[in-house]
Structure 1
Amino acid sequence: MSRRALLCGLLLLSGCNLAPRYEPPPVAMADQFPSPETHGARAPELPWQDFFHDPVLRDLIGKALDNNRDLAAAAARIEQARAQFRIQQSQRLPSVNLGGSADRLRAAVSPAEDAPRVTVDSYAVQVGIPAFELDFWGRVANLSESARRQYLSTVEAERAFRLSLIANVAASYYAMRSAEEGIVLAQKSLDSRRETMELAQLRMDVGFTSSIDYNQSYTLVTQAETQLAQLKRGREQTLHLLQQFVGVPLPDPLPPSLPLEDTTQIAPLAPGLPSDLLNDRPDVRAAEERLRAANANIGAARALYFPTIALTGAAGYASDELSNLFSGPNHLWTFGVGATLPLLDWGRRRSQVELAQGQRNELEATYQSTVQNAFREVADGLSATQHNAEQIQAQIRTVEAQAALVTTAEDRYGVGLTPYLEVLDAERNHFAAEQTLLQLRASDLQDRVNLYAALGGGDLPPPQKTVASHDR
């Protein structure tokens, strides 16, 4: 066999890849979302700066993306995965070492007791290639591909965390704004009830009414005080959570913002098609990258059934005199090829292949579950935004009716047609209806934010150092 034929055969072997051919696993998913089509921009094409119109919220999200410690940890994990990929990638090329030595040996020229002793010097300098695996079966290439896919999955996981952080900051912000507006309502209700209690006391003092009306009005005041304290506690706890997300101290109170009833503070969204989620959701992309990494690991495990062929070589100079170390006669070189194949491993290689296949099957199921969960989250978000509008409109009518009922009850009580208990119930129901309306409006904004995150968000680049997703 000629050298050229041998070289061609080695080149063909070096392109061998024993990993299964990757194909995206099928996912049972509807062609359309079960909700009427809405008009607006697609979430991946809409940066969060354009999705949120509240300047205070935009400022908080920007600070969170710069200062959140969990996000910083996610970025650090990207650097770790990137370095691990480069470590594995370096094994595809031979490393070159430079070595040198200088030795002096003092020994007798013979075993005789009076034998003379001589001193021998030796010097050497060489450049060598340690054992370099010739990747005929694709083992090193598949390990490198697996490390690259793990790195890319870490990048996508960081993007998913960014999107989750944006949603969490917005949800906490709207919850706090709801509590603040609830506190204003509770304070107004408390002031009104205190005035009513004072009036009831005057009426009781002059003997116009009994103590029953006064005690009932007093109960209404204490209830309002309790509700006000609960709202203040909830607002402070939400502020603490928001501050943890943002990562820096926040002023208390925050600057004035848009009211919850302003429906234009969030841009409308178009859901697109369910199949878009495969490309739009960073968590779905991360799950697929992990699956592709596991697929490459199968090829690396299968390659263990074949011989490991390693190449070694060195060239340099050796002499017993330092002055003429680099002269021609002192030049030397060595070259070698070795192969090893385990003959008896008691099922170790077979088990390694089965392990890699089992891990791939697990990650395939995880990927399919991630896609299905993404579809559910979008469907839930679309349903929520549709029915939230209906609930809010119905609750507005409820608040108006309860307000009218309070006026009627006060008029009837003023002329003695009804007991004060009717006024008490009307005011309590009116206050509860107003608080419910605030909660519905806050929930609507939170659901729309969750829908934005479920659709994949937009403008979520990783840190500049981690953009090199095509390093090979």
Structure 2
Amino acid sequence: MTRNPLTLALLGGLMLGGCTLAPSYQQPLSPVPAQLGEANGNSASELTLPSWSSLYQSAELQQLIQSALDNNRDLRIAVLDVAALRAQYQIQRADLYPNLSVDASGSRQRLPSDLSGTGHSTLSDQYGVQVGVTAWELDLFGRVRSLKDASLEKYLASEEAQRSTQLALVAQVAQSYLTLVSDRQNLAISRETVVAQEDSLALIERRYESGLGSELDVRQAQIALQEARANLASFERQVDQDYNALAVLVGGPLPTLKSVNLDNDALALVAPVPQGLPSALLTQRPDVQQAEHQLRAANANIGAARAAFFPSIQLTGAYGTMSSELSGLFDSGSKAWSFIPSISLPIFSGGRNRANLDLAEVRQDQAVASYEKAIQTAFQEVANALQARDTLARQQQAQQALVTATEQSLTLSQQRYEQGADDYLAVLDAQRTLLSARQQLVTLKLQQLTNETELYRALGGGWDAQQPTHVASR
């Protein structure tokens, strides 16, 4: 049976276009130690990080995080970037296949007698219907397929970038909320201090009016009260700024927030991370996976640059029917076809192809360095968070003991002042020390919770979205 040359060429091209000249991908060796901390036999598969809705028990915080995931503009931009690169990949992938089109045409032409060759004017008609393909590249050396692979990896990298943005957003909302809670707690301490200083000043003024105190005691109490009021105003401003920062992350007005402190059980994080994890766990981080997809894209681009040194074959053709009469288009014998292959062999380009290949190889080296740097950064962040966890716990215990001792010291100082054994300066020193100790304890609690949040972010966990759905066909 006779086959159309165009059909045979299309089938052959689709069967042959399956290989590329890209180098075999080799994942770079990890540039960090094999273990995070001391080895204890844990494996990456043994660690399951909870979703953020399980990690953060506070219903109020969960609501804020969900609002941020729905409304945050940075995350919205990242989602749109993924959609754009997905469409770009689909455009590039379409180049693997011939672009078929159906064309119908009709024409009528009149020639004057002096041009017809017969001495009489003539009328001629022509009608045609054809299925054709125009300038389809026969991808024998994998140039188009390499470009498609590079586009796919860029799309997958954008999905990981979206995950990274989402993970960072969850951590930022949690940290911003915890900062607001801590500043509100410090604000409450400042208000208590102002009330205590006002009571102290009233007591000292009565003692002075009764002849039991000095004017210096009154002035010192007034100074302490104004210091407390200044401190109160500072935390009022800081709390307002915390609200503004949280509103920007959430992407809209904040709901009414309950008055809680850092000792609230709902703010405690769950599922402590064990020590001695393998550093291979870091490859699960979205930024590390993003860097690897970018490396794979650079690797594919080398294949496209190599293919530019080889001939480029393009096919153009059509198959259909033609007739001088519209009614005769599909009559026997009206079949018509055309087949126009073309080949382009690069001979001299002024070194352009060589330079393009050199550029592709340099960019691959850059992608390797970026991948290694991403792993090193991840290792440093996780190692720092693991080390800070134990020291912060010990520091917080010591600070709590300091607050208790300072409270006792203030009580004794007040008793000695009332008995006339000490001047009021000793009471002021004890008050300032207690205020500083209480505020430092709040700061340490904030650092401990923030460090746990940062540890989950650094490990690439603690978020609730589904894994991105990768394109099945590569």
TM value normalised by structure 2: 0.92
Q: Match of 1:121, as an amino acid? A: D
**Matches of residues 358-369 of structure 1 in structure 2 within 5 Å?**
358-369=362-373
Query: Matched residue of 2:35: which SS?
Result: coil
Indicate whether 1:308 and 2:312 are aligned. Answer: yes
Across the two proteins, how many residue pairs are aligned to each other? 465
Could you tell me which runs of 5 or more consecutive residues in structure 1 were left unpaired when the two chains were aligned.
Answer: none
What residue in structure 1 maps to residue 279 of structure 2?
Answer: 275
Indicate whether 1:190 and 2:194 are aligned. Answer: yes
How far apart are 1:43 and its partner, in Å? 6.1
Evaluate the alpha carbon distance shift between residue 258 and residue 226 of structure 1 in structure 2; reply closer, same or farther with a 3 A threshold. Answer: closer
Indicate whether 1:467 and 2:469 are aligned. Answer: yes
**Matches of residues 51-450 of structure 1 in structure 2 within 5 Å?**
51-111=55-115, 116-252=120-256, 254-257=257-260, 259-260=262-263, 262=265, 265-267=268-270, 268-270=272-274, 273-450=277-454
Distance 2:41 2:237 in 1: 38
* Aligned-pair Cα RMSD in Å: 2.8
How far apart are 1:462 and its partner, in Å? 5.2
What residue in structure 2 maps to residue 30 of structure 1?
Answer: 33
Evaluate the alpha carbon distance shift between residue 7 and residue 70 of structure 1 in structure 2; reply closer, same or farther with a 3 A threshold. Answer: closer
Q: Match of 1:126, as an amino acid? A: Q
How far apart are 1:235 and its partner, in Å? 1.2
Q: Cα deviation per residue 1:74-133 (whole Å; 9 max; x = unaligned)?
A: 111111111111111111111101112222323313259x96433333222211011111
Q: Match of 2:422, as an amino acid? A: T
Structure 1 window deviating more from structure 2 (19-28 vs 327-336): it is 327-336
Structure 1 window deviating more from structure 2 (276-285 vs 146-155): it is 276-285
Structure 1 window deviating more from structure 2 (36-45 vs 212-221): it is 36-45
What residue in structure 2 maps to residue 19 of structure 1?
Answer: 22
Could you tell me which runs of 5 or more consecutive residues in structure 2 were left unpaired when the two chains were aligned.
Answer: none
Distance 1:163 1:383 in 2: 22
Query: Matched residue of 1:305: which SS?
Result: coil
Evaluate the alpha carbon distance shift between residue 8 and residue 117 of structure 1 in structure 2; reply closer, same or farther with a 3 A threshold. Answer: closer
Distance 1:251 1:448 in 2: 25
TM value normalised by structure 1: 0.92
| 8 A Cα contact 1:142 1:296, kept in partner | yes
Distance 1:175 1:297 in 2: 46
Q: Cα deviation per residue 1:255-295 (whole Å; 9 max; x = unaligned)?
A: 24464364972012235633333432111111100100000
Distance 1:369 1:143 in 2: 26
Query: Matched residue of 2:328: which SS?
Result: coil
| 8 A Cα contact 1:298 1:356, kept in partner | yes
Distance 1:419 1:241 in 2: 45
| 8 A Cα contact 2:41 2:276, kept in partner | no
Q: Match of 1:354, as an amino acid? A: D
Query: Matched residue of 1:122: which SS?
Result: strand
Distance 1:88 1:392 in 2: 57
| 8 A Cα contact 1:75 1:158, kept in partner | yes
| 8 A Cα contact 2:319 2:336, kept in partner | yes
Distance 2:301 2:233 in 1: 58
Evaluate the alpha carbon distance shift between residue 232 and residue 7 of structure 1 in structure 2; reply closer, same or farther with a 3 A threshold. Answer: closer
Q: Match of 1:469, as an amino acid? A: V
Distance 2:42 2:193 in 1: 40
Q: Match of 2:299, as an amino acid? A: N
